[in-house]
Amino acid sequence: MLALVTGPGGFLGRYIVEQLLARGDRVRGLARGDYPELAMLGVQMHRGDLADRAAVVRACDGVDCVFHVAGKVGVWGHWFDYFQANVQGTLNVLGACQEVGAPRLVFTSSPSVTFDAARWQGADQRGVDERAPYPESWLAHYPHSKALAEQLVLTENGERIAGGGVLQTCALRPHLVWGPRDHHLVARLIDRAESGRLRRVGDGQNRVDITYVENAAHAHLLAADALATPGSPAAGKAYFISQGEPVACWPWIDQVLGLADLPPVARSISEATAWRVGWLLEHAHWWTRRWNHEPRMTRFVARSLATDHWFDISAAKQDFGYEPQISTAEGMQQLRKWLQTPGAADLRSGRSRNGAATRRP
């Protein structure tokens, strides 16, 4: 097939591109930046912004499936920026699919769309499945905007498209994607640990799901293939994706730091204190209009780092045959190897390869 990947130069997007190429599919990419390395691999690169409807329509023209991976991540900033990238951008992708007749859309969502971080009691997510509702209030623009986008994607499933067919959609929610070439989560942990700003939040016993990046990419291809089958059970649904084996959050973080030859996290702060500090820093940033400088702590981050987040992935297994292909232990070995390469050297300064500070919730 001819597949379009939005955000093909990003962490997960790049792996999706490589797996598509490896199995013989043709790939087109839509990105704001220039990625000559992707063009050298044979990717048809289209340069444009998701907010540019015309650019999105041109990129979608003639494709068999769209992998909508691009979006704005983070826990701080203007609502408009998140809305434009994650909601308006998704609306443009959906409209383009209908206008040019692209029949399948796999949307990269997030488990945070079901995380009720504003609830003081009962915020833990233990073995929850896709019946978990969206929260009524939000502490960060990222999960809010992703939830709105996800609902749009699922609502548009079955809508008529040019050429007489219908649009088949689904959404995947991989949790804490990590692995080689990770300039987001791993970079953030290393940067904060080296600068002495990393603190354990809570009692350190909370369990979380994680997803090795190649497994997350594999799930996207499986979902796309499932949507090609008439009457697919995956159509119009959202799915949690993970390793299927929760880990203790802070011991796992210590393991990641150990791969970078850094000591375990030694200092800790209670969840209640982290929450109060987050509230104070958020309000200080609001009053001083420091929209481009993420607070060292927010209420959303405090709650995320101290509570359980693990999910039932049986629906993905049943509907499109998802099974993690690479174990967590094997993935950690691959991460270790990558951290020892020159390509990972810029993580030591907490910078991404284009010089921008790394940020991810």
The tens digit of pLDDT for each residue in 73-106 reads 999 999 999 999 999 999 999 999 999 999 999 9
Q: Is the pLDDT of residue 353 over 90?
A: no
Distance between CA atoms of residues 299 and 271, nearest Å: 9
DSSP 166: B
The tens digit of pLDDT for each residue in 217-265 reads 999 999 999 999 989 999 999 999 999 999 999 999 999 999 999 999 9
Q: Which amino acid is at 303?
A: R
Distance between CA atoms of residues 79 and 264, nearest Å: 35
Domains parsed from the chain with CATH numbers: 2-349 (3.40.50.720)
Tell me the pTM: 0.94
Active site residues: 142
Identify whether the C-beta of residue 305 lies closer than 8 Å to the C-beta of residue 326: no
Distance between CA atoms of residues 213 and 183, nearest Å: 12
Distance between CA atoms of residues 290 and 64, nearest Å: 43
Residues in a beta bridge with 26: 2
DSSP 9: T
Which tokens hold the place of 132?
């978990």
- Per DSSP bridges, beta strands 104-108 and 207-208 are unpaired
What stretches of 61-121 show up as alpha helix (H) in DSSP?
Answer: 79-82, 89-100
Which tokens hold the place of 328?
């967590």
What stretches of 228-270 show up as alpha helix (H) in DSSP?
Answer: 249-259
The tens digit of pLDDT for each residue in 292-335 reads 788 989 999 999 999 999 999 999 999 999 999 999 999 999 99
Query: If you write DSSP's letter for every residue of 52-78 in order, what string do you get?
Result: -HHHHHHHHTT-SEEEE------S-S-
What stretches of the chain show up as alpha helix (H) in DSSP?
Answer: 11-22, 36-40, 53-60, 79-82, 89-100, 141-155, 185-194, 213-227, 249-259, 271-288, 299-306, 314-320, 328-339
The tens digit of pLDDT for each residue in 190-227 reads 999 998 889 999 999 999 999 999 999 999 999 999 99
Distance between CA atoms of residues 283 and 68, nearest Å: 34
Distance between CA atoms of residues 348 and 361, nearest Å: 19
Distance between CA atoms of residues 97 and 93, nearest Å: 6
